[in-house]
Amino acid sequence: MTEEAVEKKVFENTDFKFSAAYGAYSERFDQSEEDEERQRLNDLIVKLDTNEISYPNFYDEVSKPDQDEDEKRYKFHRTRITGSRKFAARKAEQKSDRVKRHKR
């Protein structure tokens, strides 16, 4: 019961988007050691070639095992920065100074 090794798929598609996706697939395929993972990657690239899935979905699926590593990293959270005009800032500062002075 010797199982055949899963081989990398080769395509003749010259589309730039597809060749970039194939590069990501190829890199991931070479890094993977498990036959199940390689078969999953082969299925994804074939589906992409036949337009069964979109490019964003393909990239999401290809990078799925990396999510465990990403969860450990700090995630960027966008903070809201509020600005004010110079006179409004001075007015707010004067008000806070008045409040501080009378709280003593």
Q: For residue 96, what are the CA distances in angstroms to 82, 87, 91, 99?
A: 18, 14, 9, 5
Look at residue 80 in the predicted model and tell me its pLDDT. Answer: 80
Look at residue 73 in the predicted model and tell me its pLDDT. Answer: 60
Any idea which residue has 């078969």 for tokens?
Answer: 39
Model pLDDT for residues 28-51, shown as the tens digit of each residue: 988 888 888 889 999 999 998 888
Coil/strand/helix, residue 79? coil
Please provide the DSSP assignment of 15-38 as one string: -HHHHHHHHHHHHHHHH---HHHH
The residue with greater pLDDT, 66 or 17, is: 17
Mean residue pLDDT across the chain: 82
